[in-house]
Chains A and B, each alone.
Chain A
Amino acid sequence: MALAQRKPLNLEKFKIPRGRVIIFEELCKGCELCIEYCPKQILELSEDYNERGYHYPVLKSGMEDECIYCLFCQEVCPDFAIFSEKVEGEGHG
């Protein structure tokens, strides 16, 4: 138990970065890779269709500020349709 309670002394210094997800709906082909990869699971498939008839990812309601700027979605997206932007100065506690 003692082991589990150990924490770094300078933990307060570190902040998990925050990001803002930006999605180009019209470029999406609905492969769902970003939804699969997102470690915080903040994306889901939209009800709506885009111009070409694909469902595109949207942020789950209430989780708009949960992005941790890991850039996984940007790395896996085959269509360059999603990216995350760092929100400076803010962080998840």
Chain B
Amino acid sequence: MQIKKEHPLERLLRRERMPHILCTGCGIGTTMANLVEALEEGEFDLDKISVVSGIGCAGRVAGYLNLDGFHTTHGRPIAFATGLKLTNPDLTVIVFSGDGDLAAIGGNHLIHAARRNIDIKVICINNFTYGMTGGQLGPTTPSGTWSSTSVYGNYEIPFNLPYLLCACGATYVARWTSAHAHHIKNSIIEAMHHKGFSFIEVISACPVYWGRKNKLRTGKDMVKFFLEHTEIKRHPDPRDALIQMGTPILCGVFVNEKRPDYLDMMKAQLSKKLGISEFRGDGKVTLPEEEKKVVSEMRPPKEIKLTQIKLAGLGGQGIALLGLIMGRAASIFEGYSTVYTQEYGPEARGGASSSGLIISSRAVNMPYTTAPDILVIMAQGAFRKYRKDIRENSIIFIDKDLVRPKNIPNSVKVYAIPATRMAEKLGRALVANIVMLGFFTAITPYFSVESAEKAVKMSVPKGTEEFNLTAFKEGYEYGRQYGRA
């Protein structure tokens, strides 16, 4: 009769996610068990530990541990971990990921994090292959072995990860196999107490892919293989750590040295240059509480119904800026609710460009303009593109010289202004959009002249305010001839 009891490591696991997806005999499970044992045995403060992992079989681990963690994009766990560590230096950040994730796609992050000696602990599961995707050749597949994309045997030289990391400047580098359970645990505890970039490579059994293709079909076979084919040395030379079939896998602690880490170097440099002595994460800095500013709610001046405006033209005509200024005038200075979006092609000049604006006296629940009531069109190409959006009783604003409206319903009101020509007369064709803004302000009721002028001042480059305001007045005066719509 079995007595059901709780596993002693229960508090560190998310049982609701278990059983995990890892295959029978997989070395990742053993490594995870050792990580958990190490955290338990080392009596670390679990609130100060977070686990970051990438994509792949090993990337699942962050989800199985009952610790704060990130499951990040492929190859980027070290980038995430760097950000995490620098933002909150009190945390101990553990990166748990695979060889494909860390050494292939994320190789650059790995070597530069080691070079900078950022204080994170990297546990790299090296199972010689890409397990989750079907056992393809990876950067660590030993020469002469088989994988599903090297069916005649691998003829490449694999990465010698300990040597690479030692060369890059990592201050703690160790390698074990998943058969050396106790050593992994001790190494993790050692790395947790180490200050600086720590790298533990765990040669892990993948009996389902790498093992099956290389006559090691079960986890038991692989563990036996590892125990027979490893050599544990006290001070191994990383130059001999290349994994080749036929020669023993060199295991041990390759480097364990002290060197100031990234944060120390940064603090030393910045203290000198900026005269700062205390940094966040020193354990003594308390950030002053920010006083909450009371913002008086602005009431919209009058009720208007929701209006969708589409602005379209060519890149370089200032279509996006025109929409932005109109939005600012309506929202910041008039108190309406507005939504502003913009879209443009990859070209800096000449491509299609448009922006959308929604103005309402109530909250706007639409993300972008769908059926514009007002169109501001500054190029014939844009007219062709948005011709289908012109409905009965639409209002369109056009540049007289650049747009010839055709095939539009009779009920459409067309307001035309030679904006570009007027801008050219003023000196620069660039301000055609501001001329158009003045014209728009004179005709529509959404914002006053004062609001539009304030928004122009706020949005145009410093030193050009006066010139832009002149252009605005030109357009406004032109619009006065039409009278308000």
A residues sitting closer than 8 Å to B (CB atoms) are: 22-25, 27, 29-33, 36-37, 54, 72, 74-80, 83, 85
The answer to whether A29 and B24 touch across the interface, beta carbons within 8 angstroms, is yes
The answer to whether B29 and A32 touch across the interface, beta carbons within 8 angstroms, is no
Residues of B within 8 A of A29 (CB): 19, 23-25
Sample 7 A-B pairs with CB under 8 A, ordered by A number.
Answer: A22-B5, A31-B219, A72-B181, A78-B29, A80-B7, A83-B7, A85-B5
Question: Which residues in window 47-68 of B have CB below 8 A to A?
Answer: none
A79 to B3, CA, bound (A): 19
The answer to whether B30 and A76 touch across the interface, beta carbons within 8 angstroms, is yes
The answer to whether A22 and B182 touch across the interface, beta carbons within 8 angstroms, is no
B398 to chain A, nearest CB (A): 70
Contact with A along B14-47 (1 / 0, CB 8 A): 0000111011111111101110010000000000
When A72-B181, A77-B29, A78-B30 are in contact, do A30 and B5 touch as well, CB less than 8 Å? no
A76 to B36, CA, bound (A): 12
The answer to whether B3 and A22 touch across the interface, beta carbons within 8 angstroms, is yes
The answer to whether B34 and A32 touch across the interface, beta carbons within 8 angstroms, is no
Residues of A within 8 A of B412 (CB): none
A32 to B7, CA, bound (A): 19
B205 to chain A, nearest CB (A): 9
The answer to whether A27 and B30 touch across the interface, beta carbons within 8 angstroms, is no
Residue among B8, B22, B218, B220 making CB contact with A78, cutoff 8 Å: B22
Residues of A within 8 A of B25 (CB): 29, 31, 33, 78
A9 to chain B, nearest CB (A): 30
Query: Whose C-beta in chain A lies nearest to the C-beta of B20?
Result: A79
Residues of A within 8 A of B2 (CB): 22-23, 25
Residues of B within 8 A of A32 (CB): 218-220
Say which size band chain B's interface belongs to: 20 to 34
Contact with A along B184-219 (1 / 0, CB 8 A): 010000000000000000000000000000000011
Residues of B within 8 A of A37 (CB): 181
A83 to B25, CA, bound (A): 18
Residues of A within 8 A of B30 (CB): 33, 75-78
The answer to whether A80 and B13 touch across the interface, beta carbons within 8 angstroms, is yes
Contact with A along B208-242 (1 / 0, CB 8 A): 00000000001110011000000000000000000
**B268 interfacial by beta-carbon distance below 8 Å:** no
The answer to whether A36 and B223 touch across the interface, beta carbons within 8 angstroms, is yes
Residues of A within 8 A of B220 (CB): 31-33, 36
Residues of B within 8 A of A76 (CB): 30, 33, 181
A64 to B414, CA, bound (A): 94
Residues of A within 8 A of B7 (CB): 24, 80, 83
Residues of B within 8 A of A33 (CB): 25, 30, 219-220, 223
Most buried by B among A23, A24, A76: A76
When A80-B18, A83-B8 are in contact, do A30 and B24 touch as well, CB less than 8 Å? yes
Residues of A within 8 A of B9 (CB): 80, 83
Question: Which residues in window 440-481 of B have CB below 8 A to A?
Answer: none
A28 to chain B, nearest CB (A): 9
A80 to chain B, nearest CB (A): 5
A37 to B224, CA, bound (A): 10
